[in-house]
Amino acid sequence: MDRVALRGLKARGHHGVFPREREEGQTFIVDLVLHLDTRSAAADDDLAKTVHYGVVAEEVVDVVQGEPVDLIETLAERIAQQCLKHEAVAEVEVVVHKPDAPITVPFDDVTITITRSRA
C-alpha cells in the first residue's frame, strides 16, 4: 500500500469529560496516514483515482469542530470512519493530539493512535 500523510491538522473542539473543556474548547491536532493504491491514479494522472487530501483535511476539521465527545478515543474513531468513506482509502492511521489536556503536571502532549481498515 502507498501512503498519503497529512500532519498537523489543527482545529478547535469542545471535547473532554470536564465542563471547562466543553465550555471553553481547546485546540486538537490530527495526523493522518491514508493507505491506498495510487498506481492507477499515477498512471493516468487522475485525481479521481486517488484520494483528494484537501477534501479529507476539511472533513477532519469538521469532525473536530463538530459534536463534542468525552474521549479522544471516540474522536479518533469518528475521524477514521470519515476517512474510510473515501473509496480509495483501504486503511487509515489517526493520531489525535490533545496538547492542552487538563493534566496537573508538566507534559508536552497527549495522543491516541488508532488504525482502522475496511474489513
**Is residue 99 within 8 Å of residue 16, measured between CB atoms?**
no
Count of beta carbons in the 10 Å neighbourhood of residue 13: 23
Burial (CB count <10 Å: 0-12, 13-18, 19+), residue 30: buried
Catalytic residue positions, numbered: 98
Nine-digit cell string for 6: 497529512
Radius of gyration of the chain (CA): 15
Interior CA angle at 77 toward 71 and 83, to 5°? Answer: 145
